[in-house]
Amino acid sequence: MIEFKDVGVRRDGRELFAGASFQLHPGHKVGLTGNNGTGKSTLFALLLTQMGKGDTEVTLDRGEVSIPDSWHVAHMAQEVGATTQSAVDYVLSGDEQWYEINAALNDLSSVSDEQIGVLHQQFDEIDGYRTPTKAAQIMAGLGFNTSQHELPVEGFSGGWRMRLNLAKTLMSRADLMLLDEPTNHLDLDAILWLETWINAYMGLVIVISHDQAFLDATVGHILHVEQQKITLYTGNYQQFIRTRHERMAQQQQAFEKQEATKAHLDDFIRRFRAKASKAKQAQSRIKQLERMAELSPMMADNPFSFQFYEPANMSSPLIELTHADIGYSETPLLRNANVQVTPDTRIGLLGMNGAGKSTLIKALVGELGVLTGNYRVSDTLKLGYFNQHQMDILDAKATPIEMLRRLAGKTSDALLRSFLGSFDFRGDRIDTPSELFSGGERARLTLALIVWQRPNVLVLDEPTNHLDLQMRQALTIALQGFQGAVVLVSHDRELIANVCDELYLVHDGRIDEFDGDISDYGKWLAEKRKQENSADKSTSKKKSKKESKKFVSRETDNSQVSNQVSNKAPDNSSKSNATTPALSKEEQRKLAAEQRKRTAPIRREIEETEKALAKIDEQLATLEEKLADTGLYEESRKSDLLVLLNEQTALQQEHSDKEEKLLLSMTTLEEMEAEF
């Protein structure tokens, strides 16, 4: 286990932790939370330093940190350098033990025969033959297709490099895994896959994340850093909020602000209930909002308190796509799209990675023209569009107040500073050039500039990627009070559930209304993955069986055997060759019969091994279906999960052993037939 005893840490002259004491055990899944600047990254750096890893050393001011000497650590770094190494090779390098042994086996020039045997034994012990398959599965889960495996790392964008970095980290055979914002560059289907992976991981995981739903689905403990103290809570993020609220409620000022926030939510629920009482999504959203009322205490010490201005004027519809084909270079990615955005619209767009959500967004805001069909906007349209590109084109040399003044004209300086303060730009940060801002600060500034312009339609493409939990909560409440239309793409399930009235699914080139809520979408994704996996396995089995039949028929065909025998040159001199008589047809038939008789046992062995492999494949497929059940990962069913995982590991090992046996048998058969 990891144990902190009265730990104190200073960094750059500032005390971050004082008297920190807690224990973390193998198998724990821990969420590390706290406001920006409280020391979450420093805690990671301290753990890495104690284990002899990491680029930044952090020393103890006092206290003791105890970590088992035998433990290995994997850390998801925040940067990936440009390299010509292929993507799959980069991911495989995360398994350092496998990577070193595999490299040695591929270069035996300086290895003795005895060492070769040891290397093969080590390779077998770590199940090295299945490691490339594991890498491919992780890459697929994170959204990579097989055609991207051999592409160089330097050819990927920054976001996709971060996915590669996460895949490399997940490949590690570590006892302790440190994940810093692993969901930042993932879409929803990749996040759901990652949740399943973390729940199945047997080691200790500590994760920094601002995705509340992700934390609720994966962690059973929360380490909260606040006011130089580190407190360990049992339970997921929601349970942590309730427990913390009980402590905060002792302070009257916090209590009053909390009640005001609850009143705001209750008012919104009443208005919402009156508007849409029949729709399935409406009822689901009411439940989500009622549950969110429990989270409102987190706003008591929230530095963000902004709201959207009421739009000046609106007509209906504001944006309309009718029978539109949308795509690039005359190739439609989406066909017959029909989307109408009215003042009451609150759409959440769902869909797998690459399905076309961002393409639809670009068409709605007019960045991408339709190939066929109609695109119309109202004369009253005032668009507020947020995406990564908007953040990237901020004036790097300008300060927040300079950028806001360009929009605000003669508005007083005091009013501008007050407005920026609601986005937590205070003091020196108001007069700091944006090139010095973090990703979260740039995202907040972009949102502030959008809010000031009083839009009547908000089109938001992943607005929470760089936002912490408190800013996400403030954004959620602000969007709930917004009087205009909202079109949202986000991997933050809480944001979608609490803001959107209707969900649209982008899939297979179509855009259809999704009949269900955000939790139903998770089930839909799991079912789609199961279908795709079954299809892939079916194709793989057919291919394997076909190739196996080709091999057997080729090796046992009488005429081919006869030809091989008649054309085979004996090991005598050319003079002997010249005098060796050709075999008659009768002799060839006898020789072929003798060959079939002699090789019959090994051919039976090959057939039996192939049948055994097919049976194991079926058992593994059944297990994977059971493991796809999300209820299996609840704490109460942990023992059931462990039984299934152990069974899966045993079957995978047996499968690997059978494959090796099959390969050796086929090699033996070839050698025996070559003797004739």
Most confidently modeled of 2-16, 587-601, 654-668? 2-16
Give the separation between CA 215 and CA 295, rounded to whole angstroms: 14
Q: What is the largest CA-CA distance in the chain?
A: 111
Residues 225 and 193 in one domain: yes
* Percent over 90 (pLDDT), the chain: 30
> Which residue from 356, 351, 353, 349 is spatially nearest to 328, judged by alpha carbons?
356
Give the separation between CA 499 and CA 476, rounded to whole angstroms: 7
Give the separation between CA 415 and CA 74, rounded to whole angstroms: 48
| Domain residue limits at 22 | 2-97+129-243
Residues 157 and 263 in one domain: no
Give the separation between CA 452 and CA 445, rounded to whole angstroms: 11
Residues 19 and 93 in one domain: yes
36-54 pLDDT, tens digit each: 778 888 899 899 999 888 7
pLDDT band at 13 (very low <50, low <70, confident <90, very high): confident
Mean pLDDT over the full length of the chain: 80
Domain-embedded: residue 92: yes
Residues 177 and 218 in one domain: yes
Domain-embedded: residue 593: yes
Asked if the model's pLDDT at residue 330 lies above 50, the reply is yes
- pTM of the predicted model over 0.75: no
Q: How high is the pLDDT of residue 179? A: 94
Q: How high is the pLDDT of residue 560? A: 37
Residues 216 and 269 in one domain: no
Strands 2-11 and 14-24: antiparallel
Most confidently modeled of 9-18, 114-123, 236-245, 498-507? 498-507
401-453 pLDDT, tens digit each: 999 999 988 889 899 999 998 888 888 889 999 888 877 888 889 999 999 99
Query: What's the CA angle centered on 465, arms 491 and 286, to 5 degrees?
Result: 45
Do 210 and 262 contact (CB within 8 A), yes or no? Answer: no
Task: Say which DSSP state 86 is in.
Answer: B
Q: Where are the alpha helices (H) located in 426-517, listed in sequence order? A: 439-452, 469-480, 493-499
Strands 73-75 and 319-328: unpaired
pLDDT band at 590 (very low <50, low <70, confident <90, very high): low
pLDDT band at 572 (very low <50, low <70, confident <90, very high): very low
Q: Give the CATH number, domain containing residue 447.
A: 3.40.50.300
Residues 366 and 265 in one domain: no
Give the separation between CA 155 and CA 148, rounded to whole angstroms: 10
Q: Which residues 6+ apart lie within 8 Å of 220 measured at CB?
A: 28, 29, 30, 234, 235, 236, 635
Among 194, 212, 243, residue at a domain's last position: 243
Residues 448 and 358 in one domain: yes
Residues 158 and 23 in one domain: yes
Residues 39 and 180 in one domain: yes
Spell 238-267 as b/e; 16+ CB within 10 A means b.
eebbebbbeebeeeeebeebbeebbebbee
Residues 296 and 416 in one domain: no
Q: How high is the pLDDT of residue 297? A: 47
337-348 pLDDT, tens digit each: 999 999 989 999
Domain-embedded: residue 405: yes
If one counts every other C-beta atom within 10 angstroms of the C-beta of residue 556, the result is 17
* Percent over 70 (pLDDT), the chain: 79
Strand partners, 226: 229
Residues 269 and 206 in one domain: no
Mean pLDDT calculated for residue range 645-670: 75
Q: How many structural domains does the chain have?
A: 4
> Which residue from 96, 61, 87, 58 is spatially nearest to 153, judged by alpha carbons?
87
